[in-house]
Amino acid sequence: MPRYRLTNARLPCYKSQNDQSPQDLWIEDGKIVAIVPSIQEFIDPPPIKLDLDGDWLSLGGMDLQINGALGLAFPDVTIDSGEKIIEINQFLWTQGIDAYCPTIVTAAISQIQTALAGFAKFKSQYNLQPNQATIAGIHLEGPFLNPAKRGAHPKEHILPLTIDNLKRVLDDYASLVKIITLAPEMEAETGAIEYLTSLGINVSLGHSLATAAQANHAFTSGATMVTHAFNAMPSLHHRTPGLLGSAIINPNVSCGFIADGQHITPLMIDILLRASDYDRGLFLVSDALSPLGLPDGHYPWDSRTIEVTHGTARLPDGTLSGTTLSLLVGVQNLMKWGLCNLEQAIAMATITPRIAIHADFNINTAQGRLLRWSQHQPGTWQQIIL
């Protein structure tokens, strides 16, 4: 049985775990079996395989909002998309992503269910391979949005938020859905959020004009997330704090945000980070579209076309529709802009997304791979295969 150790590693911490002293990870048969202080002496310790020289070591990234890659938009998935999903999973793994939530944006109910059926078939027929990212569950971004804040979502497919409509959309695939983004003020009857949480679905507020009172009611009802903070919602205002103001001060709510420099300016990200206590209340998302992994250019997007320029995608009328930048570019940008320390930036791509959906975020549960982050070139990473 292979036995060795990685020494002098620093591990991103969360909440009360503030020990940044170097640690040794003891590996047996490709699994972490112990994490001990590097200075501690043991009788017959495993041989050192790699000295990390104080670099950070983390799980791979988890992207909770990604709309497609390599030319496939996730709403277009069918039962025949298995090989393409494998290709995407392999690509995302090369981008440092270990897990993700394929995001299905607002579309006709029939199309949503076709995509859900395609992912259900994939999960039932394909086994995880060592060089692939895993699907953590589906993120439905819509169709229960506020038409006035729909952004690039097609208005004709937006639905009132009712339990009957939720049942129509989810059909037999509720167990596959991990997150649903909705506008709470569009609730046409009480109990919709409670119904979703009873199914184990994480409710995220977004594409919304909710007041602070409406947002607070949604949080009390079980909503625990906000979708791409600042985007598709009113900005912070000193007399009408709205959804975002209520979310920032709620310790039980996590806000996703896009750090591409286009969706939010670095100055506003700085304000968001300070107000939300950095990795205590925020997580990075890519919001990447189907041209992720492809060069800039014009690409089909539902019945429309998007133009990708320097990694930013827009509709012909100029509406911002997403990016083609991968999740960990956000970590690099946060460091480039000097908005937080490296530990916090790493945590917002690897730890807090997992916490937001109640997934295991302990490094000793890693599935055979980790990311090493250079302390000398912040934001630079490389994969380590256990």
Give the mean pLDDT of 362-383.
Answer: 87
What is the pLDDT of the chain when averaged over all its residues?
92
CATH class of 61-359: alpha beta
Residues in a beta bridge with 225: 204, 254
Instruction: Give pLDDT tens digits for 73-107.
Output: 999 999 999 999 999 999 999 999 999 999 999 99
Model confidence at 301, in pLDDT bands (50, 70, 90)? Answer: confident
For the chain, what is the total number of helices (H) and then of strands (E)?
Answer: 10, 22
CATH architecture, range 3-58+368-385:
Roll (2.30)
- Model-level pTM? 0.95
Q: For the chain, how far is it from start to end, CA to CA, in angstroms? A: 13
What percent of the chain lies above the pLDDT cut of 90?
Answer: 74
- Cβ of 342: how many Cβ atoms within 10 Å? 19
Residue 15 confidence class, pLDDT cut points 50, 70, 90: very low
Where are the chain's structural domains? 3-58+368-385, 61-359
CA distance 46 to 2: 10
Mean pLDDT of 43-60: 92
At 379, the pLDDT band (50, 70, 90 cuts) reads: confident
Nearest residue to 243 (alpha-carbon basis) of 202, 292, 208: 208
Query: What pLDDT is recorded for position 1?
Result: 61
pLDDT confidence of residue 171 = 95
- Which residues are CB-neighbours of 20 under 8 A, at least 6 positions away? 10, 13, 343
Look at residue 300 and tell me whether its pLDDT is greater than 90: no
Q: Of residues 98, 260, 279, 287, which has the active-site annotation?
A: 287
Q: Is the pLDDT of residue 16 over 50?
A: no
Q: What is the pLDDT of residues 222-239, one digit of tens each?
A: 999 999 999 999 988 899
Give the C-alpha separation, 210 to 33, whole Å. 47
**The token pair that represents 119 in the structure block:** 């992912």
Assigned token pair, 177? 């859905």
**Is-cis flag, bond preceding 143, omega within 30?**
yes
Q: Would you call 287 a catalytic residue per the annotation?
A: yes
Dihedral pair phi/psi, residue 6, rounded to 5° = -100, 125
Q: Model confidence over 146-159: pLDDT tens digits?
A: 999 998 898 999 99
Mean pLDDT of 139-147: 97
172, two tokens: 């037999």
Q: What percent of the chain has pLDDT over 70?
A: 98
State the pLDDT at residue 18. Answer: 56
Find the range with the poorest average confidence among 10-19, 28-37, 363-372.
10-19
